[in-house]
Amino acid sequence: MRIFVIDDSPSVVAKLCQAVEAIRGSEVLSFLQPREALKRLDDQTPDLILVDYMMPDMNGIEVITHVRRNALTAHVPAIMITSRKETDIKLAAMQAGATEFLTKPIDETELTIRVRNILSIGEERLALAAKAASLQRDFDAAMKTVERHEEEIIWRLSKAIAARHGETADHLDRVAIVARMIAEELGVGARQSRMIFLGSALHDVGKIGLPDAILSKPGPLSAEERRQMQRHAEFGSEILNDSSSELIQTAQRIAESHHEKWDGTGYPKGISGSSIPLEARIVAIADVFDALCSKRSYKPAWPIAEAFREIVNSSGTHFDPACVAAFCRRWADIKGLFELQLSDGDPVTPQQTSKTAPTFQLSRGSA
């Protein structure tokens, strides 16, 4: 345990050091100049400070005040040594953060007992801090294991759902990656970006509740079939509702609202603007863009450049303009991701978009 002894009297310093050095396990650093001691706080943080009150350059109360203002030493105990009896001095010292007082002439037995008691408390504090750090490491490791298992369960379930309604695992991967890119560009933070990345994988979980005849139908849906298809958003919300998991809560908001539109013409609730959860606004873009670029039994794949134009042209109607802007800022990364798998090399930038992109049914759920 490191102890600072601060006193302008060499004889007092010698006496204090002699008494304190006799305490096993202690290292004593002595200072005749208070400012020299304060300079050493950052690189040799003490476990205890003994400081005289009456010193010409800086008194003990001022020293303790500086110690308390330093984040590294704010909680270091300090014993002030003084021959003064005035109550106001002791009150000022207590207000500054003095832990104990010793009165001159110093009784070595009393000094040793007080120092040992304070060091003992410090050792217990360090032991508790070490135990807390160990428990935190164990907790973090356990949480990482839980998160890995959580991720695996979600991805396996989502891929099973995708296989049932004719989509591929690649679709889920791309939607998740694009959604995370948009989230990151919006500055939502690493934790929420991860939630959106994983929660997006369950955006169509409600399709479990739809008849196979609708999911596998190769041609256009009738008005009634289309109405039933749209119910997958409600089914998904019901499946994921009432969870205590923050991740599943995020997935529930996405499943329920990823077909809502910025202008209020979406489903299932017809909400608009910022009333639509941000996660759902983000995933809506990722889902529609991938649906446009992917071949389905009921439609051909769009070229990436045309799909990009459609997203931009739908800003303010179908999509949140801020999310579309974030999508555009990450376009180079998104385009590269899709070119790896879908082989469309037509370069396009936001400035090259036009209002002439073709329109037709995007997907059974995306329209």
Any idea which residues carry the catalytic annotation?
207
Give the residue from 25, 31, 37, 41 showing the smallest Cα distance to 10.
Answer: 31
Q: Which amino acid belongs to residue 50?
A: L
32, 13 contact by CB (below 8 A): yes
The residues that bridge with 299 in the sheet, in sequence order, are 296
Q: Whole-angstrom Cα distance, residue 50 to residue 282?
A: 59
Distance CA 130, CA 204 (A): 46
Burial environment of residue 280 by CB neighbours within 10 A (0 to 12, 13 to 18, 19 or more): buried
Buried b (16+ CB within 10 A) or exposed e, 125-146: eeeeeeeeeeeeeeeeeeeeee
Q: Interior CA angle at 13 toward 12 and 19, to 5°?
A: 90
Q: How many whole angstroms separate alpha carbon 192 and alpha carbon 182? A: 12
CA separation for the pair 297, 272 (Å, rounded): 31
The runs of H, that is alpha helices, within 219-346 are 223-230, 232-240, 246-257, 278-293, 304-313, 321-329, 331-342
Query: Whose structure tokens read 């060499």?
Result: 10
Name the nearest CA neighbour of 358 among 291, 324, 309, 317: 309
Dist CA 166 CA 297 (whole Å): 8
Order of strands across the sheet with 2-6? Answer: 27-31, 2-6, 48-52, 78-82, 100-103
Q: Is the dihedral of CA 341, 344, 346, 350 positive or negative?
A: negative
